[in-house]
Amino acid sequence: MSNGSSNDLAGAISGLVDTVAKLGQQQIEVLNNGLKSVSDMVGPLGKTMTDMVGNMASTLNQVLQNVSSTIGGGSK
């Protein structure tokens, strides 16, 4: 192998290694951004679910009170 083709091969390998390293770094950044987005959504979503469950419990309680009142009022 001539010295010029060895340098070309070394340059190609170096470029390939740099490209693979950059791709790996970008994948890690995408993963980190995805995890951050998910964690940013969990807080508001948890509060919304808690509020919804509370509203459902309150509605059910009102329905049960109305049923109880109707049953109690009908026997008088």
Amino acid at 56: M
Output DSSP code: residue 4: H
Q: Report d(CA 40, CA 34) in Å as an integer.
A: 10
Query: Would you say the pTM of this structure is higher than 0.85?
Result: no
pLDDT, tens digit (0-9, with 9 covering 90-100), for 21-73: 999 999 999 999 999 998 888 888 888 989 999 999 999 999 999 988 888 87
Range of the domain at 37: 3-73
Q: Which of 70, 73, 52, 74 is nearest to 62 (CA)?
A: 70
Q: How many domains does one find in the chain? A: 1
Output DSSP code: residue 76: -
